[in-house]
Amino acid sequence: MTTSFKESLAKQKIAEEIQLICYRQMLVKMVDSSEMGWKEVYHKILRAQARAERKTKAEKAKKKRPTLYSRPTSTSSGNDTNGKASGRPRVCYKCYKPGH
């Protein structure tokens, strides 16, 4: 191993440890400001983990979901509707009169 590689590895480890210390300090501040102490911290961690699990499950389900129905790109039946949904005129659901 070269010295530059060892130095970069050591710097990386130091940076990781600094992040862990900062995280620990944040938890200690949360405990000091809370009446429930560490119970509240554990509760918040559990909620965050559950939220992350729900998110990953939703993403997996979204990827797995197959397309059940697909619209045809061209009309093969020969019935061209010119953009109309059906042959019936549109009527009001309240007064049953067409045109408004």
Number of domains in the chain: 1
Tell me if 82 is assigned to some domain: no
| pLDDT tens, residue order, the chain (100 aa) | 688 899 999 999 999 999 999 999 998 888 888 888 888 888 888 999 999 999 999 988 888 766 666 666 665 555 555 555 566 678 888 888 887 7
Tell me if 93 is assigned to some domain: no
Taking alpha carbons only, the member of 18, 44, 17 closest to residue 31 is: 44
The parent domain of residue 29 ranges over: 3-64
Q: Is the pTM of this model over 0.75?
A: no
